[in-house]
Structure 1
Amino acid sequence: MHVFADPTNFDAYLSGFLWILKLTGASAVLALALGVFLAAMRVSPVPVLRGFGAAWVNIFRNTPLTLVIFFCYFGLFSTLGLRLSDDLNLNNYWLGVVGLSVYTSAFVCEAIRSGVNTVPAGQAEAARAVGLSFAQTLRIVILPQAGRAVVAPLGSILIALCKNATIVGTIGLLESSNIMKDLINSNGDAVIPIFLVFAGTFAAFLIPTGYLFGWLANRLAVKR
């Protein structure tokens, strides 16, 4: 553990995980919003919207995340000139958020849609019978129940998102995996301790998160 006794190394270690938390938080919010919107499209009575939602899900669920992140960097930034910040590290961060969000939204969409399918069809029919529009029925009747039914799957998606965030290091962001690689390159005699510290930090954060979402799922489950 002498590696982390050096304040410079310890600060780099904390900075790497701070970037991971920032990536996870921003991407989770955007992916949830986009995923709910896509789920609404997938259950929409309009064929074009259903087709678009299905295409989005099928494309991004079957495309490796690494390719999505590379496209954000080499396609949007290098080729098309999309610049989200003048600071290079911050620009890479936002490109990573875009890639993680659009990729994860496909999984969020399917989780939400599975929750929608658990709501009895009679409730939607009753809502339409009293004059609610499709959007109102979805917002007031369907989604609140669907959300409670998919807390556990959404928790699993969040955990996967946090681990996937390390892939953003491939476009130059100094997050935890890049910091770990740099520390190993500089301290070849401490490979195992460095690995254990980084792996242990992920485990210390994600294992309680899994238990928390499991508890919430039981607490919020709709009793039928």
Structure 2
Amino acid sequence: MTWHAQAGEIVLRGKEADIFRDAILSMCDLIATESRDEESAFGGARVFDHMTRTQQLASLGEVTRYLFHATEECLPLTAWSEATLASILHEIRTSVHLEIEKGGDDKLRQTIREMFEEEWEPIDWNDVCEWDYVLDAYESRFLWDTDFEDDSLSDLPPEQAKLVRELLGITDDYYASISPDLESEWELLHGTKRVWMEIDGTKR
């Protein structure tokens, strides 16, 4: 087991792993090079964007370990872990948009097309809106829903919030679980390397 998704237990392989690797390392580089006073906002999930830079890197490292390698147990689905994955998927979406905007190269889109089991051809290969529909379908393979973005429960009385969580099948620690963090900001300098080692399966 590794990542518990709607499509079952997922371990990234081949070209799909390459796409995720490029997106994750791009995010790591941006996080590591931001100044201390700047936020590293990617637009995929507020929970992830509101993390500190050290939390973002640590969360990427943790999620990466479970996405790229078969593990005895799946990473528990929590607001921070699903928000981290949602941000990675959003980075892939952003890369598709940039590829369309630049024109010419369509390597990323071709790879994504190949990852779908059914053969299909987009009506317009360079239509951003059409690709957003495709990417929505692809993201649903990984994400069950967008509960990680639901701020409304925090405004409810405790007993009412608990009842709503039970009705929605949300565990008590889904929102309460705290994201991992690096021990110090100094580790930001080596953050990308640490995540690369998680992808590669190299022991620290």
Same fold at TM > 0.5: no
TM-score normalised by structure 1 residue count: 0.31
Indicate the structure with greater helix content: 1
Bigger relative contact order, structure 1 or 2, given CA contacts below 8 A and separation 6+?
2
